[in-house]
Amino acid sequence: MALPVVSVLSTQKKKKPSLVLTLSSAGLLIGVGSAAFWLLTQGKLFSRDLPVGANIIPQDALFAVSLTTDASQWQKLRSFGTKETQGELDKYLVELRDRFLTNNGYDFQKDISPWVGNEVTIAILAPDMKKNAPTDGIATKEQSMVMVLPIKNPQSAKTILAQPKMLKGGKLIDRTYQGIAIKQTEGQSKENFSAAVLDQRFLVITDNSKATERAIDAYKNKTTLATTGGFADNFPKIANYQPFAQFYVNVPIAAKIAAASPNRPLPAQVLAQLQNNQGLAGTISLESEGIRLKGVSWLNPNSQRTLAVENNAGNMQNRLPAETLMMLSGGNLKRLWADYVLTSHSNPVSPIPPEALRSGVKSLTNNELDLDRDLLSWMGGEFSVSVMPSIAKEGYKEDFRAAFVFMVQASDRALAEASIKRLDDIIKNQYQFQIQQNTIAGKPAVNWIAPYGTLTATHGWLDNDVAYLVMGAPVTNKIVPKPNNTLASTFPFQKTVPSDPNPTNGQFFLDVERTVKNFPLPTLFPNQETVLEATRSIGITSAVSDSRSNRYDIFLELKKGDKPTPLPTPTITPTP
């Protein structure tokens, strides 16, 4: 038996401790909701068009996730990975089950499975800010949890509600709000919970009575997620039959909370740009070889901003050799940079501040080149950044085990050639490199030779308008002439990188097994080495769906572990 809750996105950790289960007549359901909420806030893990409860959860939900209750899907999830990752997942599921169900006298198969629907939805509501109230401290105000459980067997659900467990302190009270009966606890040592049945089809569980009222108001007034701008239009784009999970992030509200954070506040201009966005949503499905995520993001319907529908990528993988370890491509580098600057200028949470890149180029070129004017201005076509393993020596001392390869389609070749010529002069005069003219497969190329005779970089042109720069190991003869065995033709690439959406404005491929085995990677998240050890490859394809939305498809090819064994049988001790 697997507890059907798992986090698919990390959210802000709250200062309050994880929810402590306090069970009333709706105790079992509260327990499930608490477990899911704990998972979401602590961030330990990651056919219907709309998630369950979309017509109940208020529009101001910060985050919502719908999770399957199908035990076979959870069994499939447990089958992925290495023995180590399988053990960690099983340990985690057992801890959650025992903490939130077993220790309170409940069993999932006996008490929940008989009546609950195919999936449950958990949402985190933003703090209830009154009109004209100050925003100071919004990030520290308590957020509320709402859980919606569809009732497929009303009689079984009624039986559970009629047989409450004993309360651990406090009392159970009944009240009515807008004609709807509510059961809630009071006087608990930690949190008080509230439960109500809507339309005889949904059981709504919250961690405070005000959140229940907000859900009832939203349901009656039709101010729910289902009526949020763009929600009902965009979720169908990523619909899938019997998904493992679906999620939604309210970008404007998340941005407001981040802007009010006392630690890393967002500047006003960044917040203004983020307000142009409305939502980010995704559908997660388990396949035989791994996990697929279909995502969509869309703009606020009231925003004046529109997206340029340019899906001009998809050719660079045909220029790269089969042994390429990593490739990131896009359709228009100049536009990509402009979009990045809009939301990253003076933004303290940007991974690479635009100002730092601009000043870096000026510093390295002794103020001779400007990033925007001299380089990005002519990079208006498709581009790629890739990593290739080293090849046999070609007469030069080889100090690198891999090569960095950059390719870009020039929108103005004359301007490009002038800028590249200036760059050659800077490398020669400022760094005392030898600029050597060369010919590779009948095409002219330029080598940068370091003072000690090491071939450091090579640049030239492919076809008529695609410039390339190779830095590190000398792999130029792998791309000039065009390789016979390309990255696009390899089985790993075809299996991992999604073929949709098509046409595309960008793709990403990473051969995790070969990369991790041969090259050290920077640590980006906790337990990274363990997670990567369970992953074979990663593929991403993106596209501008229309002038208001973007689409993303991601596939993680995972290793298959041993056949999962049943989780240890819990020992239920009745509450005295």
Is residue 524 in a domain?
yes
Verify that 67 and 201 share a domain, yes or no: yes
Q: How far is CA 205 from CA 23, 34, 154, 208, 398, in A?
A: 12, 9, 16, 9, 64
Which regions of 211-333 does DSSP assign to beta strands (E)?
245-250, 277-287, 290-299, 326-330
Could you give the angle at the alpha carbon of 243 between the alpha carbons of 554 and 196, nearest 5°? 130
**Residues with Cβ < 8 Å from 244, sequence gap 6 or more?**
67, 68, 73, 77, 284, 285, 286, 291
Question: Rg (Cα) of the chain, in Å, rounded?
Answer: 28
Both tokens of 532, joined, read 């990567």
Q: Number of structural domains, the chain?
A: 2
Q: Rounded distance, CA 24 to CA 174, Å?
A: 11
Which regions of 11-71 does DSSP assign to beta strands (E)?
61-68
Is residue 158 in a domain?
yes
Could you give the angle at the alpha carbon of 72 between the alpha carbons of 67 and 75, nearest 5°? 90
Q: Rounded distance, CA 534 to CA 81, Å?
A: 5
Q: Is there a contact between 198 and 178 (Cβ–Cβ < 8 Å)?
A: no
Residue 346 lies in domain: 308-548
Is residue 294 in a domain?
no
Verify that 316 and 267 share a domain, yes or no: no
Given the DSSP bridges, would you call strands 290-299 and 326-330 parallel, antiparallel or unpaired? unpaired
Alpha helices in 406-563 (DSSP H): 413-431, 491-496, 512-518, 528-533
Q: Rounded distance, CA 108 to CA 32, Å?
A: 9
**pTM attached to this predicted model:** 0.84
Q: Which long-range contacts (CB under 8 A, 24 or more apart) does 48-51 make?
A: 48/239, 49/232, 49/235, 49/236, 49/239, 50/225, 50/226, 50/231, 50/232, 50/235, 51/119, 51/121, 51/225, 51/235, 51/246, 51/248
Verify that 330 and 227 share a domain, yes or no: no
Is residue 301 in a domain?
no
Is residue 3 in a domain?
no
* pLDDT given at position 464: 87
Verify that 254 and 140 share a domain, yes or no: yes
What is the CA 256 to chain-centroid distance, rounded?
20
Q: Rounded distance, CA 531 to CA 82, Å?
A: 9
Residues in the chain where the model's pLDDT stays below 70: 1-48, 99-101, 103-105, 128-141, 160-170, 187-191, 261-273, 346-349, 391-400, 571-576
CB crowding 505-542: b at 16 or more within 10 Å, else e: bbbbbbbbbbbbeeeeeeeeeeeeeebbbbbbbbbbbb
Q: Which of 257, 287, 317 lies at the terminal end of a domain, its last residue?
A: 287
Sign of CA dihedral 73, 77, 83, 85: negative
Q: Is there a contact between 286 and 76 (Cβ–Cβ < 8 Å)?
A: yes
Both tokens of 96, joined, read 């959650």
Verify that 193 and 332 share a domain, yes or no: no
Verify that 231 and 171 share a domain, yes or no: yes
Is residue 199 in a domain?
yes
Verify that 273 and 358 share a domain, yes or no: no
Q: Rounded distance, CA 571 to CA 574, Å?
A: 10
Verify that 446 and 538 share a domain, yes or no: yes
Phi, psi of 267 (to 5 degrees): -65, 155
CB crowding 392-429: b at 16 or more within 10 Å, else e: eeeeeebeeebbbbebbbbbeeebbeebbeebeeebee
Neighbouring C-alpha atoms within 13 Å toward the C-beta of 142: 11
State the residue for tokens 């009624």.
158
Q: Which long-range contacts (CB under 8 A, 24 or more apart) does 133-140 make?
A: 135/256, 135/260, 136/260, 137/260, 138/256, 138/257, 138/260, 139/12, 139/257, 139/258, 139/260, 139/261, 139/262, 140/15, 140/262
Count the Cβ atoms, other than its own, within 10 Å of residue 91.
11
Q: Rounded distance, CA 575 to CA 518, Å?
A: 55
Q: What is the pLDDT of residues 26-53, one digit of tens each?
A: 333 333 333 333 333 333 333 357 899 9
DSSP secondary structure, 319-379, as one string: TSBTT--EEEEES-HHHHHHHHHHHHTT-TT-SS-HHHHHHHHHHHTTTS--IIIIIGGG-
**Residues with Cβ < 8 Å from 154, sequence gap 6 or more?**
115, 200
Q: Which of 287, 317, 333 lies at the terminal end of a domain, its last residue?
A: 287
Verify that 274 and 329 share a domain, yes or no: no
Verify that 56 and 122 share a domain, yes or no: yes
Verify that 382 and 500 share a domain, yes or no: yes
Q: Is there a contact between 151 and 116 (Cβ–Cβ < 8 Å)?
A: yes
In 3D, which of 263, 368, 384 has the Cα closest to residue 318?
A: 384
Q: Rounded distance, CA 309 to CA 144, Å?
A: 38
Q: What is the pLDDT of residues 439-479, one digit of tens each?
A: 999 999 999 999 988 889 999 999 889 999 999 989 999 99
* pLDDT given at position 383: 97
Is residue 401 in a domain?
yes
* pLDDT given at position 167: 55
Verify that 276 and 412 share a domain, yes or no: no
Is residue 564 in a domain?
no
Assign residue 346 a region (left: φ > 0; alpha: ψ between -120 and 50; beta: otherwise).
Answer: left
In 3D, which of 338, 26, 346 has the Cα closest to residue 164?
A: 26
Q: What element of type H or E holds 100? A: helix 83-100
State the residue for tokens 């929810």.
19
